Structure 1
Amino acid sequence: MNPRKTARLTGAVLIAAAMAVMHSLPASAASSGGTSATDSAIDRIEAENPGLLAAMKRDLGLDATAARDLMATQEAAIGTENSLRTALGESFGGAYFDAATRKLVVSTTDASEVAAVTAAGATARVVATSAAQLDSEVARLNARERSAPSSVTGWYADIVTNEIVVTALPGTAEAAKSFAGSHVRVIEAEAPQLFVKGGDAYYIGSSRCSVGLTVQGGYVTAGHCETETGSAQPNNGTWAGSSFPGNDYAWVRTNSGVTLEPRVGSVTVRGSSSAATGAQVCKAGSTTGWTCGTVGAKNQTVRYQQGAVGGMTATNVRCQAGDSGGGFITPAGQGQGVVSGGNTSTCYFQPLGEILSVYGLRLLTG
């Protein structure tokens, strides 16, 4: 291993270890008031968000104690993943949160880095293909999207199995392999749909969508809420930018009388650090309210009837028509993205970081 990488890994280990200690202090240990800073933060979250905790209990099967533990563990995992992603560089093979062990699993293509990954508090795994190589294969398929058969509904890099997965309609696996290559794994599932319908929440003509996360001057939401509803403006503002297909994001510049709060539902937004695959996440939508589940594969290309969208994240969170644009957030307040669409088993979201970057927006935080 070269000296520069050794230095980066050493720094990552120190940072990750410090975060792990900070997030694992027992309640009896830390501050002069008798509770740790982590416990105090989670007490605040519980007090502020009764609807969220009820959703975690219903959808994730967690009681109050398990929910508290999960919040602290996943917040520490976010910092560990970010540190190791930088330190491992081109040998980084992806990371995911293992629900069974409640530990972050970090993959590397370099066996000599296993000890450093373990020292940082993660479970190390050696894989054949780096995350960058997997993403390159996704980009190759993206470039050929127009030639894909209509039965192919998307593709993504599965960092858990370290392979490319193509999703296709039932009974069409051979056509998918003919397009993408025999080396890919094919998963058959029903076609994804966009989540827009007439009704409640913020209106665009006779349709409605859901507010995502608030930013300085307005809020972010799904791009198809603008393009699929014609020239109508939102009832609480005006379209300031949108992109669909290709992407599925937009932002609305709100009217002067609209009060903006740094919340998704009742959860105060604390930041926008991306949660690992396998981590628990919740969303607030105007149709289904609070629903929770698990982060799936990232950087997915999804082929809707209206066009393909790349760079999305899959979840098993329950979403329905009208939830489009609604905000995804971790239980501890890290904003993740906005609802795009899906089917009965999958809900996709457009990651928040890209939206903020494209439009130069500043996320409102509490």
Structure 2
Amino acid sequence: MSRRRRHGLELAAGCTVAIAALFLGTGIPAVADPGEPSPRPRREVPPEMLASMQRDLGLTADEARARISNEYRAGAAEPGLRKTLGGAYAGAWVSGNTAELTVATTDAEQSATITAGGAKAAVVKHSLNALTEAKRALDSAAAERPPTAEAASAWYVDVKTNSVVVQSARPDEAAAFVAASGADRQVVRVVESPERPGPLYDLRGGEAYYINGAARCSIGFSVAQGDRNGFVTAGHCGDPGDTTTGSNRVAQGTFQGSSFPGNDYAWVSANADWAPRPWVVGPEGSDVTVDGSQEAPVGSSVCRSGSTTGWHCGTIQQHDTSVQYPQGTVSGVTRTNVCAEPGDSGGAFISGSEAQGVTSGGSGNCTVGGTTYYQPVNPVLTAYGLTLTTG
């Protein structure tokens, strides 16, 4: 647990004003503004987060720990600095592997106060209040008359450049949007960008998807093939090239491979709007996390998630079953006493937290009970060189 001490910095005017001091990389803790609540004790950083920072930010383990610590201190310091600098405050940010704090001000005379507090000072033209006012003008204009995504895909206060940035694929249209908003044009700058943001939807086992806008099946498990993400499902649900939409009818992906009869498996690559999740839709819409795909032995409990009947459980009766469908023989499937109904096809079978397979077919229903077969998942992963998304 970090320790904190308090002290004040005496200003030229003779009054004593408390300011949050930041000493980066020295082991000296930050001090909080006595007018602000004391920061909460900092929890230990999970090892998984440190490992991810090392991987994605190119840091050593010690650098990752130091950065987290300094970022925490910077966050604790910022409220005091903002309060002390008042209307001249123009934002704050950290940079570099050591997360060094920079504080911006429109008043050059405040630079000494900032550096005395352990941060770097940046003297800029526009206050944060001025930037925020311009951003609000853009927000109001967009609420009344939304720009196209090509004209303005995003806009934001950028304290590092002391401006409000408007991203646009068509700068001329963006300039017209800015002019119509009434925002201070000296504060706003347009940056050409091809970015087209869109909402991200989750891929979860058991949820519905539609094939070519018509027939419905269920997602099995999220998977990856190289830099492509998607999901596995039943082969009888679609052929290579068929397109899919999600349960929300938003464009989702394309069948990349499919085998039926003989086997009953397929995989769909999803577009960038869909995020693979290591989850299966469980009871009452809860998320059941997938940890692996270890095959469960005969007699094991197993549960199925599908878009028609939801979550149902039973036991594994036999592995390596051959079943005769009207379209032909499917071999190597597993027989269970779990019920299922049309539309559940392709949905996830899971035992504990281990993925077992995707729903193939069967008989009966969830009113009287029945027999359901699933295509084991491991042969699907092997056939297409897929990696299961796990938690």
Relative to the length of structure 2, the TM-score reads 0.42
Relative to the length of structure 1, the TM-score reads 0.44
More strand by share: 2
- Name which structure has the greater RCO, CA cutoff 8 Å, separation 6+: 1
Question: Which protein has the larger Cα radius of gyration, Structure 1 or Structure 2?
Answer: 2
